Chain A
Amino acid sequence: MQRTAVVSESGLRDLLGRIIETSRVMAPVKRGKLSYDFEWISSPDDVELDYVRTVLPPKKALLPPREDLLKFEREDAGASPVIEEEPFVLFGVHSCDLTGIRELDWAMGQRHGVPDPHYLARRKAATIVGMSCSPDEYCFCTSVGSSDTKEGADLFVTAIDGGYFVEVLSEKGEELMKLAPDAREASADDEIKAKAALEARKEQITNKINAPAEKLPGLLEQNYASEIFEATAERCYSCGTCTNVCPTCFCFDVDDEVDLLLSSGTRERKYDSCQFQDFALVAGGHNFRGDRSDRVRHRWFRKFVYLAQEHGRPFCVGCGRCSKQCTAGISLVDVVNSVLAEAREEVAT
């Protein structure tokens, strides 16, 4: 039986303060009036305990937008890997984003039998504190099975009346709780409250995909040629925002950066996007996804067909970031539902 506890809000901030004294902490902070971002924090008062979603997912702590893979010296032609192993705490991760981390663990850690040492070192160095969320109209976690994920978290914190219900889910979580002497043991009543809070939150979610997740690969594949992708492409700018903010996108570009004296440098990787026009361009000039509609379809198929079939789960966690932040106002859920509706009409006629 896992241990549970209850802390007050001030108790939770005290705990964060003690963690900051011993380790780096990345947590959600408010940026401007409406945006939140995961950032390295120096004070527990900066942390936003009740937020909807951050601009970039907490993926950035494990797979940063830009990171060094190698350091090299051009003179002696040697290179050494850059592996980041310094422990840190990733605080305040919602269930959708915990699901994103779980899928990245597979894609970067296991897929093709190739463990990525740079991702895995950070993943191992991370202690993750999950947290209950406050959904808005963009959220659709209940359609992709990510609304209840606690897997991957070392602690999971649920806001209840008068404090936070804490589930201790691992040894690392147990270690963190040692820094929370004010925590009291949770009662059966606290547990009922926490469960009710999580259920109530799910009921607020109105944005839904009109088919069960496990049927999406088949349904979409049957509609590969759907005109909806063409119509969506007419609105899309190929800016790559959707893939940049996606918790499960992991494609990257690799580039060398050389210092001013041309004596040493780094090989870096940075987020790439299948939506960029040159993503599938080869040296001879042939572009395998030169049409924007092909790139648009690729994104939806990547989320709900290709990786979903291979992994057995949709590669979308329902966080709503791509739709909320799309420059052209394209909604991922609307596109899926339109394809499904078109398919139903075809069956009917």
Chain B
Amino acid sequence: MTQVQPRFPDQKPEELFVPEIAKITRAENLTEQDRLFEIELPGGKDLGHEAGQFVEVSIFGFGEAPISISSSPAKTGSFELCVRKLGGLTSKLHTMGAGDELGIRGPLGNGFPMADFEGADCLLVAGGIGMAPLRSVVNTILAERDKYGRMILLYGNRSPDDILFTNELDEWAKGEGNEVLVTIDRPADGWDGNVGVVTTLFNDIELDPSRRIVAAVVGPPVMYRFVYAELQALQIPDNHIYFSLERRMKCGVGKCGNCQIEGKYVCIDGPVFTGDELRSFHESI
């Protein structure tokens, strides 16, 4: 199994918990509750992350929270975070814009092993805010399109108002071998697209069983069981199904324990786990 090794910030040992001060260079609201930030590290240096990794975002006085990286490693000079307004820190972030400063620690966690996706048909399944980290995978694939087989993105949302990156979805669908299917949970005024949970989209795709298929899944915990069943029905081997799990990663460096799944720490051993690993846990989802 391909596994990206955990990475740690290139910093002095005594600065394990000291964030780097970074600058917001651009910010825009994608939905009522989601805001996209472009962030530049000092000197414009690259974050050096892998698709699927996260950073700890700091605002002094408000605390720190793990946020998955929304841009692909192919983007240099800055990176992007898509932040949903949920608590004190993220609400404060939503008041911030270009020119404001915040603290960054990372990249942290393992990320998706993109080498395993190379040469395979890539089935990407996103639910809600799960699109934020998956966008990093999408753009990694698009940046070196020839390296990968088909790219099929299934994206489920509660309502049309919750859909992220609306202006990019059409772009992603362009080009040979790219498919983007979006659905919303319940009918809504002005929506003439798919209706139903994300698993209903599996009826609309046709996969070539002779091809190697690799899947990446990011969404709310409730989605995983149902998506996993669909992926098993497609006979995708467990070690080629990658789930990114959500936990409360307070320290991000394998100490504080908040993100434990049994003996694993999601901030170190994850957040990306294979189907094999998920099956070995009692309490993963």
Contact = CB atoms under 8 A, between A and B. Distances in A.
A215 interface: no
Sorting the interface of chain B by its residue count into under 10, 10 to 19, 20 to 34 or 35 or more gives 35 or more
B268 A112 contact: yes
A262 to B, nearest CB: 7
Interface stretch (B151-159, B185-193, B250-258): B250-258
B262 A116 contact: no
A115 B13 contact: yes
Nearest to A278: B248
A294 interface: yes
Main SS of chain A's interface residues? Answer: mixed
Given A77-B21, A112-B265, A251 B61 contact: no
A200 to B, nearest CB: 38
Contact of A306 (B16, B248, B254, B262): B262
Contacts of A179: none
A81 to B, nearest CB: 5
Interface string A219-253: 00000100000000000000000000000001111
B63 interface: yes
A40 interface: no
Interface in A207-226: 224
Contacts of A116: 16, 255
A267 interface: yes
Interface in A96-115: 107-108, 111-115
B226 interface: no
B268 A79 contact: no
A83 B14 contact: yes
Contacts of B247: 280, 282, 288
A72 B248 CA distance: 23
B14 A72 contact: no
B18 A80 contact: yes
Interface in B6-64: 6, 8, 13-19, 21, 58, 60-64
Contact of A281 (B62, B63, B90, B248): B248
A36 to B, nearest CB: 28
A112 B246 contact: no
B99 interface: no
A250 B255 contact: yes
A6 interface: no
A286 B248 contact: no
Interface in B68-96: 84, 86-87, 90
A272 B60 contact: no
B248 A254 contact: no
A213 to B, nearest CB: 17
B179 interface: no
A78 B21 contact: yes
A258 B220 contact: no
A255 interface: yes
B14 A252 contact: no
B126 to A, nearest CB: 15
A327 interface: no
Contact of A288 (B222, B253, B261): B261
Given A250-B257, A306-B263, A283 B87 contact: yes
A77 B221 CA distance: 35
B60 A74 contact: yes
Interface in A154-208: none
Among B14, B58, B86, B103: residue with most chain A CB under 10 A: B14
B244 interface: no
Among B17, B60, B258: residue with most chain A CB under 10 A: B60
B257 A267 contact: no
A117 B261 contact: no
A117 B221 contact: no
Contacts of B238: none
B61 A272 contact: no
A78 B84 CA distance: 25
A305 interface: yes
Contacts of B255: 107-108, 111-112, 114, 116, 250, 252
Contacts of B230: none
A289 interface: yes
B222 to A, nearest CB: 8
Given A80-B18, A254-B256, A256-B62, A310 B248 contact: no
Contacts of B146: none
Contacts of B174: none
Interface string A134-151: 000000000000000000
B283 interface: yes
B17 A114 contact: no
Nearest to A115: B13
B246 A79 contact: no
A255 B258 CA distance: 14
A69 interface: yes
B256 A256 contact: no
Contacts of A253: 250, 256, 258
A269 interface: yes
Given A77-B101, A254-B256, A286 B221 contact: yes
Given A80-B18, A117-B16, A286-B220, 14 more contacts: A74-B60, A79-B60, A81-B16, A116-B16, A251-B256, A253-B256, A253-B258, A254-B256, A256-B60, A283-B248, A286-B221, A294-B283, A307-B263, A310-B263
Interface of B: 6, 8, 13-19, 21, 58, 60-65, 84, 86-87, 90, 101-103, 220-222, 246-248, 250-251, 253-258, 260-263, 265, 268, 282-283
23 contacts: A70-B17, A72-B60, A77-B101, A112-B265, A114-B268, A115-B13, A115-B16, A116-B16, A117-B13, A224-B282, A250-B257, A251-B257, A252-B256, A256-B63, A269-B256, A279-B258, A280-B258, A283-B65, A284-B86, A284-B221, A286-B222, A306-B260, A310-B263
